[in-house]
Structure 1
Amino acid sequence: MTAEHKGERAILVHLDGHAAEVREDPYEFQELAVSAGAAIASFVNVPRHQPTARFLIGSGKVEELRQLVLAEQADLVIFNHALTPSQERNLERALECRVLDRVGLILDIFAQRAQTYEGKLQVELAQLEHISTRLVRSRTDLSRQQGGIGLRGPGETQLESDRRLLRVRVRQIKSRLEKVRNQRQLARRSRQRAEMPSVSLVGYTNTGKSTLFNFLTESEVYAADQLFATLDPTVRRIQIPDLGAITLADTVGFIRHLPHKLVEAFRATLEESASADLLLHVIDAQSPERDEQIQQVQNVLQEIEADDVPILEVYNKIDLMDNVEPHIQRNDQGMPVRVWISAYKQQGIELLQQAIAELLEEEIYVATVRLAQQQSRLRGKLFDLNAVQQETHTDDGASVLKLRVAKMELDKLLSREGITSADFFAQYADC
């Protein structure tokens, strides 16, 4: 389904008047086409409430499209809706040019964006499964399957051969992706054994996830003002003030009516979100489609069984809004539920880090310990760990330390000293 070359002249067809639950956004449709590299020759809005079985649109509108294709010398026609295999074939015959539906368009963008071996495998799997539904014969070829004079021979073999090759390739890709999935599970178990909290960025496509990820991790993940700029998952270890080390994962952006084939193909990647301790739901605060985009993300999270993971909403792009300053919104219990920031302008990042620390503070030890002079070596290591918030001294020279430190960091330190955290607090806790 990948376009043969960029800059193809495309006519976009949008059906208006659909029910709200299946209606697509015409502006987003144009953004998708541009992201795929199409040169938009014309945008056709079809105000039809009852799609037809043969063409999706009426035969009169099909003839108008055919004339428009000739006038614009268009290379392809793209529909902002899913087409059945038969509708796609019927339209290609009538319009005498290539026809692509919304699913095929998104698959094409994914094919262009994928960079890693895993990402390319996932896209190829989704493409092959999409193509397999369209692998059918013309009417003449189908008659050959029934046999008869002049119709016997290799005709049946060719179709079955194509299908067999597709099935073999799909099995190969699924097997390789299963290995990737197992590797990810091993990596997650390793992080869990180290008691390192995991945070995953999720959100609608083009909401600024990668820009935020780059600033927090000081890395250079590709970020651009386009749909699906990031496909390949990236995980980095970062330090959060008052919390310690966490892993932060950047994931593929979601979109309205994300094709189920893509959700399945990217399941290994999306499981980074399902297994996280906290999700940062990055939202384009100034988008007129904000509420609908939030709902679409929630739908995908439910599909990948990640809807029960704690969520902190991150309202991004406040630099494009009037009279909105970075701030934290809290619930009735005083816990952060929403942070307003600008990743591009780097505004409110410290508030975001504060909110993350508060929500993950169960991963932090907060205690007061009393160390005798003989424990000066351990005292020094606690200072090296930046675990000491305050120190006072008793008359006998003992140090009373107020500690706030990530569990993982303290446990590692104590392990090197040959003591467990339970024994440490039992022995040195200042009552």
Structure 2
Amino acid sequence: MEKGKLTEKKTDRVVLVGIIRDREQDRVVAEYLEELRFLAETAGAQTINIFTQRLSQPHKRTFVGEGKLEEIRTYCEDNEIDAVIFDDELSPSQLRNIEKELAIRVLDRTILILEIFTQRATTAYAKTQVDLAHWQYMLPRLSGMWTHLERQRGGIGTRGGAGEREIETDRRIVRGRITRLKEELTKIDRQMAVQRSNRGEFVRVALVGYTNVGKSTLMNTLSKSEVFAENKLFATLDTTVRKVVLENLPFLLSDTVGFIRKLPHQLVESFKSTLDEVREADLLLHVVDISHPGFEAQIEVVKKTLQEIGAGEKPVFYIFNKIDAYQYVVKEEDDLLPMTDENRSLEDLKKGYLSKTEAAIFISAKNGTGISQMKEELYAMVRDIHKVRYPYNNFLY
């Protein structure tokens, strides 16, 4: 089978599995599983059904209880399901036990995201980063792994040849591969560091945000370039840097990989050089999809990730995107429902966030609403940074 292909079939039929922990709302877990469905769709799979179970914590041996696992097994047999995807990272023993019980492909959230990154990587650098993350994930799971890879023969999560053609690969070989990949990345990292240092006195601005919030579309709007953008997760893996000029003021704008809930730590580690664009930026443009029902939780995920990579204290300009898709009209017997966190008008949201910080704006990159004002405010921010750093250039303003 060719590298990068999901399976010989047109579309994998999959079921999703998640647990509802104590104090978790069903609605929140439903949002998590909807995101997992979107991930599966991005990887080329069709979700046929979703299974949930309320547990205080995942079952140590099989993640879900034995009764629920039997229910899943029966459903998969009766409905020609190709794979089962769990919305958490499974331990090596859980993965082996579940596969033994279900007798079909079993994936967890981490390997699914790695599969998407594999499909999306186009440059040698991105491919090397993804390969490193993949083998770091696989190393503790090698025991008994090769026989199950041979049995699977393709499908999402098998890397299209990275395992099934090398059944004899052992830990020593994998560790050697990891070492070589790290050495390759170190060389490229040094080259990229030199490139960043040669950018002169330009102010650096980085687009950050949850995956699929519209960063690349906004990049195209500001830089008048054609950065790849589509309505799928992780459309951008390689950092794109463009020179942007607002009025008479030039600065560098970078578009970076989107963050996501439970982003595998292997990916954060292997993409550290790509994320240097965020760490070294003078200003972060935090793009938010305000039409997403869980946008506030997504904001917190991005904040947490920025802290983890050492960029949590950077100045931030919040750009609330997709106001054209924001939904509010909810009626019951011709009366608006009581105002809640899930049911707020766009004007209420604007007042709330603008009262917390002056550095926020509400736009639609798709239809152009608010773009002119956003450019004016961004120009003022970049100008202020430039004035402080290079006071002798103030004649530009």
Query: Where do 1:276-295 residues align within 5 Å?
Result: 276-295=281-300
2:185 maps to what in 1?
Answer: 177
Q: Distance in 1 between matches of 2:73 and 2:346?
A: 49
**Could you report, residue by residue, the CA deviation over 1:373-408 in whole angstroms, capped at 9, with x for unpaired residues?**
xxxxxxxxxxxxxx9xxxxxxxxxxxxxxx7516xx
Letter in 2 for 1:319: D
Q: CA deviation at 1:137?
A: 3.7
1:409 maps to what in 2?
Answer: none
Using a 3 Å threshold, how does the CA distance of structure 1 residues 331 and 49 change in structure 2: closer, same or farther? closer
1:197 maps to what in 2?
Answer: 203
1:33 maps to what in 2?
Answer: 40
Letter in 2 for 1:349: I
Give the secondary-structure state (helix, strand or coil) at the position aligned to 2:312. coil
Query: Where do 1:86-235 residues align within 5 Å?
Result: 86-137=93-144, 162-191=170-199, 194-235=200-241
Q: Distance in 1 between matches of 2:48 and 2:298?
A: 28
Aligned residues: 348
Q: Tell whether the 8 Å contact from 1:77 to 1:100 is kept in structure 2 after alignment.
A: yes
Q: Tell whether the 8 Å contact from 1:214 to 1:220 is kept in structure 2 after alignment.
A: yes
Higher relative contact order (CA 8 A, sep 6+): 2
**Could you report, residue by residue, the CA deviation over 1:271-301 in whole angstroms, capped at 9, with x for unpaired residues?**
1001001000000112211111000000110
Using a 3 Å threshold, how does the CA distance of structure 1 residues 58 and 278 change in structure 2: closer, same or farther? same
Using a 3 Å threshold, how does the CA distance of structure 1 residues 161 and 127 change in structure 2: closer, same or farther? closer
Q: CA deviation at 1:49?
A: 2.7
Give the secondary-structure state (helix, strand or coil) at the position aligned to 1:25. helix
Query: Where do 1:364-403 residues align within 5 Å?
Result: 364=386
**Could you report, residue by residue, the CA deviation over 1:194-229 in whole angstroms, capped at 9, with x for unpaired residues?**
210010000001100011011111222211112111
Letter in 2 for 1:37: G
Of 341, 348, 351, which aligns to 2:363?
A: 341
Of 380, 384, 388, which aligns to 1:362?
A: 384
**% identical equivalent positions:** 41
Once the two structures are overlaid, the 10-residue window that deviates more, 213-222 or 91-100, is 213-222
Q: Tell whether the 8 Å contact from 1:280 to 1:313 is kept in structure 2 after alignment.
A: yes
Give the secondary-structure state (helix, strand or coil) at the position aligned to 1:239. strand
Q: Tell whether the 8 Å contact from 1:7 to 1:39 is kept in structure 2 after alignment.
A: yes
**Could you report, residue by residue, the CA deviation over 1:319-373 in whole angstroms, capped at 9, with x for unpaired residues?**
1237859x997679xx84101111111222221221122222235569xxxxxxx
Q: Tell whether the 8 Å contact from 2:6 to 2:44 is kept in structure 1 after alignment.
A: no
1:260 maps to what in 2?
Answer: 265
Q: CA deviation at 1:18?
A: 4.9
Please say if 1:44 is aligned against 2:51. yes
Q: Distance in 2 between matches of 1:219 and 1:263?
A: 27
Once the two structures are overlaid, the 10-residue window that deviates more, 289-298 or 168-177, is 168-177
Letter in 2 for 1:173: L
Where does the alignment leave 5 or more consecutive residues of structure 1 unmatched? 141-157, 367-386, 388-402, 407-431
2:396 maps to what in 1?
Answer: 405
**Could you report, residue by residue, the CA deviation over 1:58-101 in whole angstroms, capped at 9, with x for unpaired residues?**
11111111111111111111111111011111111110001000
Q: Which has the larger radius of gyration?
A: 1
Using a 3 Å threshold, how does the CA distance of structure 1 residues 361 and 42 change in structure 2: closer, same or farther? same
Q: Distance in 2 between matches of 1:229 and 1:111?
A: 12
Where does the alignment leave 5 or more consecutive residues of structure 2 unmatched? 148-165, 329-344
Using a 3 Å threshold, how does the CA distance of structure 1 residues 365 and 311 change in structure 2: closer, same or farther? closer
Q: CA deviation at 1:231?
A: 1.2
